[in-house]
Chains A and B, each alone.
Chain A
Amino acid sequence: MVKRLHMKRKPTAGKLYRFILLLILFAPFLCLAQTHSFSGKVTDSAGAPLEHATVTIKGAKRGIATAVDGSFTLAVDNSTVLVVSSVGYTSREIAAGNQTNLVIVLARANDALSDIVVVGYTQQSKQKTTAAVSKLNPAELKNTSNPSPVQALQGKIAGVSVPITAGQPGAGAPNIIIRGGTKNNVYGSGLGNNNGTSVGSVDASSPLVVVDGVFRAFTDINPDDIESLQVMKDAASTAIYGARGANGVIVIKTKGGKFNSKMNLSLNHRTTWETQARNYNYMGAADYLKLARTTVKNTFDPIDKNNLLNNGGFSAGTKVYTKKGDYGKAVNLTALYDNIVAVEGQDYVNNLLAHGWQTMDDPINPGTKLLFADNHYQDMLWNTGLTQNDNLSVDGGSDKANYNLAFGRTNQAGVLVGTKYKRYDALGNFGFRASDNFRIDVNLSYQNLSPNYVDAYQNDVVRAIRITPLIRIFKDDGNPAVGELYTARNRFHTLKYDDTRTKTERFVSRVAGDWTIIKGLHFKPSLSYLSDDYHETFMRKATPPDEVQPSTQRQKTDYTSNSRQLMTDQLLQYDFSLARDHHFTVLAGINYTKNTGNIVSVSSQRATSDYIYTINEPSTTVINGVVTTNVTNFGTSFSESRSASAFGQLNYDYNSKYLFSGTLRRDGFSNFAPENKYALFPSASVGWNISKEKFWHINFMNALKLRASWGKAGLSDLSLTDTYGGYSATTYALGSGILRANLSNPDLKWESTTTLDLAFDAALFNNRVTLTVDYYNKLTDQRLASKPLPSESPFSSITFNNGSLRNRGIEIELGATVLSIKKFAWNTNFSFAYNQQKIISLPNNGRAKNRQGGDLVYDANSKSLVEAGGFAEGERPYAIYAYKTLGVFSIEAEAAAWNATTKDNLASPQGIAVGKHAGDFIFEDVNHDGIIDTKDQVFMGYRTPTTIGGMQNTFSYKGISLRFTMDYALGHLISNGALARSLGQGRAFNEGAPAEALGPDIWQKPGDMGKKYARFSFADADFGQRNYLRSATLGNNNGYGSDVSVMITKGDFLAFRELTIAYDLPQNIMHKIHATGMNVFASVYNLGYLTRYKGLNPETYTGFDPGGYPRPRQFSLGATIKF
Chain B
Amino acid sequence: MKNKLLYWLPFLLLLETGCKKILEVTPQSSITEATYFKNEGDFEPYLTGIYTAMRSFANNITYGTERSEELVAASNSRFTTAWSQILSPTTGAVNYNDWYKAIGNCNLLLKKITDFSFSNADAKKRIMGETYALRAYFYFSLTRIIGDAPIMLEAITDDNVPLLPRAPATDVMKQIQSDLDASIASFRSMAGFVPTAYPSLYRFAYGSVQALKADAKLWSAKVMNGGTADFNDAIAAITEVEITGRTLNTDFKNAVTLRAAANPEAILAAFFLRDESNGSSNYGLNALPFFTIVQGALNIDSIPYANTSGNGQGAYQISPKSRALFTSSTDKRIPFTWVTERQSTGPKISWITKLPGTKYSDDRISDNDIPMYRLADVFLMKAEAYAGISNTALAISYLNKVRNRAGTGDYGGATDKATIEKEILDERERELYFENKRWYDLVRFHKAGTINVYTYVPNLVGKTTPLFWPINTTVLANNNLIKQTEGY
Contact for B36 among A438, A727, A909, CB less than 8 A: A727
Report yes or no: B307 in contact with A624, Cβ–Cβ below 8 A.
no
Is there contact, CB below 8 Å, between B11 and A525? yes
Q: Does A138 interact with chain B (Cβ within 8 Å)?
A: no
Complex Cα spacing A670 to B279, Å: 37
A438 touches which one: B5, B24, B150, B308 (CB < 8 A)?
A: B5
- Binary A-proximity of B271-291 (CB < 8 A = 1, otherwise 0): 101111111000000000001
CA distance A57 to B295 in the complex (A): 90
A644:B86 contact, CB within 8 angstroms: no
* A629 with B275: CB separation less than 8 A: yes
- Which of B25, B96, B274 has the largest count of A CB atoms less than 10 A from its CB? B25
Within 8 A of B (CB), among A483-529: 485-487, 513, 515, 525-527
**Given A548, A644, A854, A931, which contacts B22 in the complex, CB threshold below 8 Å?**
A644
A365 close to chain B: CB less than 8 A: no
Q: Is the CB of B25 within 8 A of A793?
A: no
Question: Whole-angstrom distance between the alpha carbons of A734 and B277 in the complex?
Answer: 10
Report the minimal beta-carbon distance from B154 to chain A, rounded to whole angstroms.
Answer: 9
Residues of B within 8 A of A417 (CB): none
Q: Would you call B257 an interface residue if the criterion is a C-beta within 8 Å of the partner chain's C-beta atoms?
A: no
- The answer to whether A311 and B5 touch across the interface, beta carbons within 8 angstroms, is no
Expressed in whole angstroms, the Cα–Cα distance for A853 and B20 within the complex equals 39
Known contacts A642-B23, A912-B86: does B362 contact A553 (CB below 8 Å)? Answer: yes
A744 pairs with B77, CB closer than 8 A: no
Q: Which of B117-125, B222-230, B329-337, B470-478 contacts A (4 or more CB under 8 A)?
A: B470-478
Are B11 and A734 neighbours in the complex by a CB distance under 8 Å?
Answer: no
Scoring B274, B311, B479 by chain A CB atoms within 10 A of each residue's CB, the highest score goes to: B479
Q: A891 contacts which chain B residues (CB < 8 A)?
A: none
- The interface on chain B, measured as residues whose beta carbon lies within 8 A of the other chain's beta carbons, has a size of 105
Most buried by B among A568, A732, A789, A913: A732
Q: Is the beta-carbon distance between B473 and A856 smaller than 8 angstroms? A: yes
Expressed in whole angstroms, the Cα–Cα distance for A312 and B34 within the complex equals 59
Contact indicator A743/B156 (Cβ below 8 Å): yes
Q: Contacts A788-B478, A791-B479, A905-B91 known; A733 to B51 CB distance under 8 Å?
A: yes
Contacts A641-B25, A905-B81: A731 and B307 contacting too (C-beta < 8 A)? Answer: no
Contact B15 A669 (CB under 8 A): no
Determine which residue in B31, B52, B78, B200 has the highest number of CB atoms from chain A within 10 A of its CB, and name it. B31
Asked, given contacts A725-B32, A789-B159, whether A931 binds B14 with beta carbons under 8 Å apart, the answer is no
Complex alpha-carbon distance, A703 and B164, angstroms: 66
Q: In the complex, what distance in Å separates the CA atom of A445 from the CA atom of B79?
A: 57
Task: Report which residue of B27, B47, B200, B345 has the largest number of chain A beta carbons within 10 angstroms of its beta carbon.
Answer: B27
A487, B308: Cα distance in complex, Å: 11
Chain B, range 83-107, C-beta contacts under 8 Å to A: 83-84, 86, 88, 90-91, 95-97, 100-101, 103-105, 107
Binds B, one of A11-19, A632-640, A1004-1012: A632-640
Q: Which residue of A lies closest to B345 (CB)?
A: A306
A478: Cβ under 8 A from any B Cβ: no
Chain B residues whose C-beta falls within 8 Å of the C-beta of A728 in the assembled complex? 31
CA distance A911 to B354 in the complex (A): 28
Nearest Cβ on chain B to A28's Cβ, whole angstroms? 38
Find out whether the CB atom of A644 lies under 8 angstroms from the CB atom of B15: yes
User: Residue B310 contacts which of A486, A668, A851 (CB distance < 8 angstroms)?
Assistant: A486
B51 — nearest CB in chain A belongs to which residue?
A732
Say yes or no: B25 contacts A739, CB within 8 Å.
Answer: no
Query: Across the interface, which residues of A come within 8 angstroms of B291, CB to CB?
Result: 548
- Bits for A317-334, please: 1 = Cβ < 8 Å to B, else 0: 001100000000001000
Knowing A724-B33, A909-B77, say if A485 contacts B275 (CB, 8 Å).
no
Instruction: Give the residue name and chain of the A residue nearest to B34 (CB).
Output: A724
C-alpha spacing A792/B279, complex, angstroms: 25
Nearest Cβ on chain A to B410's Cβ, whole angstroms: 38
Which residues of chain B are within 8 angstroms of A745 by Cβ–Cβ distance?
158-159
* Cβ contacts A854-884/B at 8 Å (1 or 0 each): 1110000000000100000000000000000
- Closest B residue to A744 by beta carbon equals B33
The answer to whether B104 touches A794 (Cβ under 8 A) is yes
Among A549, A592, A856, contact of B363 (Cβ-Cβ < 8 Å)? A549
Q: Is there a chain A Cβ closer than 8 Å to B360's Cβ?
A: yes
Q: Which of B100, B103, B278 has the most CB of A within 10 A?
A: B100
Chain A contacts for B150, CB-based, 8 A: 792
B77 to chain A, nearest CB (A): 4
Partner of A738, one of B45, B360, B474: B45
CB nearest to B23 among chain A residues: A670
Q: Complex Cα distance A677/B14, Å?
A: 18
B156-A720 in contact (CB<8A):
no
Q: Is the CB of B46 within 8 A of A738?
A: yes
Contacts of A526 in B (CB 8 A): 11
Partner of A909, one of B80, B274, B359: B80
Q: In the complex the two chains form, is A549's CB within 8 Å of B77's CB?
A: no
Complex: how many Å from CA A1023 to CA B101? Answer: 33
Answer whether residue A934 sits at the interface, using C-beta atoms and an 8 A cutoff.
Answer: yes
Q: Is the beta-carbon distance between B79 and A910 smaller than 8 angstroms?
A: yes
B298 within 8 A of partner (CB) = no
Interchain CB contact under 8 A, A987 and B100:
no
Query: How far apart sit A867 and B101, CA to CA, in the bound complex (Å)?
Result: 26
Within 8 A of B (CB), among A938-980: none
Contact residues of B between 33 and 83, Cβ < 8 Å to A: 33-34, 36, 42, 45-52, 55, 73-81, 83
Q: Is A81 part of the binding interface, using a Cβ–Cβ cutoff of 8 Å?
A: no
Please tell me if the beta carbons of B86 and A905 are within 8 angstroms of each other in the complex: yes
**How long is the Cα–Cα vector from A553 to B308 in the complex, in angstroms?**
13
> Are A795 and B101 interface neighbours, CB within 8 A?
yes
Interface set, chain A 773-803, CB cutoff 8 A to B: 787-796, 798, 800
B48 to A669, Cβ gap below 8 A?
no
Instruction: Check if B161 is an interface residue, CB within 8 A of chain A.
Output: yes
How far apart sit A417 and B419, CA to CA, in the bound complex (Å)?
Answer: 69
Using CB atoms, name the residue of chain A closest to B103. A794
B9 at the interface (CB under 8 A from A): yes
Contact A855 B479 (CB under 8 A): no
Asked if residues B33 and A800 are in contact (CB atoms below 8 Å), the reply is: no
| Residues of A close to B309: CB separation below 8 A | 485
Residue of B whose beta carbon sits closest to that of A742: B33
Report yes or no: A734 in contact with B76, Cβ–Cβ below 8 A. no
Task: List residues of chain B with CB within 8 A of the CB of A720.
Answer: 25, 27, 30, 32
Q: Which B residues are closer than 8 A to A by beta carbons? A: 1-2, 5, 8-12, 14-15, 19-20, 22-25, 27-34, 36, 42, 45-52, 55, 73-81, 83-84, 86, 88, 90-91, 95-97, 100-101, 103-105, 107-108, 150, 152, 156-159, 161, 163-164, 200, 202-203, 271, 273-279, 291-293, 295-296, 307-311, 343, 345, 358-363, 473-475, 477-480
4 residue pairs, one from A and one from B, having the closest CB atoms: A794-B104, A737-B49, A725-B33, A737-B48
- Since A525-B11, A792-B96 are in contact, a sample of 12 more A-B pairs with Cβ atoms closer than 8 Å, ordered by chain A residue number, is A549-B307, A590-B15, A678-B19, A733-B200, A738-B48, A791-B96, A792-B479, A793-B97, A793-B152, A854-B477, A855-B473, A909-B83
Residue contacts A-B, CB under 8 angstroms, 8 given: A437-B2, A527-B10, A644-B23, A737-B46, A790-B161, A792-B150, A851-B477, A853-B474
